[in-house]
Structure 1
């Protein structure tokens, strides 16, 4: 029984690093920025509709969905970092 696992295939590791750095991280940041813009649009709608209850509810809804989107993007980013650091440690 071997004492340690063999090192990961460098081609696969390089490919995963490339995919993460060139596709996943920019995509996560773009989606986070969109969620932030959606949240700020909700704040704008909420403030603009001070006299209109319906507009305030729409603004609240936008703010809540914006916060949910940002939370999801933080979670995805954290999960990817955990998977990446764990996969990097397997090869030792």
Structure 2
């Protein structure tokens, strides 16, 4: 059975806390900004159908980005917790 030393677990935890979590948080913020930009573009589009379509696309990609970031965060935590407990 493979067992990680406490220093390896500590190293992996520091990578998670200081590198991966901020990157995921930043990407989450980008997805929220894209979504909000899409809402604003859609609302200000008025009668311009092309602007409304672009706004809807931005909202869709913002939601997809949010879903991906939440999924990545969850999968990353499951993998790290699994390897830390081995």
Q: Given the two structures, how large is their TM-score scaled by the length of structure 1?
A: 0.87
Which structure is higher in helix share? 2
Residues 38-59 of structure 1, C-alpha deviations (whole Å, 9 max, x = no match): 0000000000002100000000
Give structure 2 stretches of 5+ with no counterpart: none
The equivalent residue for 1:65 is 61
Say yes or no: does 1:36 pair with 2:47. Answer: no
Structure with larger Rg: 1
1:6 Cα shift? 5.8
Say yes or no: does 1:53 pair with 2:53. Answer: no
Give the total of aligned pairs.
Answer: 86
**CA RMSD, Structure 1 to Structure 2 (Å):** 1.1
The equivalent residue for 2:17 is 21
Stretches (4+) displaced over 4 A: none
Q: Given the two structures, how large is their TM-score scaled by the length of structure 2?
A: 0.93
Over 3 Å counting, the alpha-carbon distance change for 1:6 and 1:56 in structure 2 is: closer
Give structure 1 stretches of 5+ with no counterpart: none
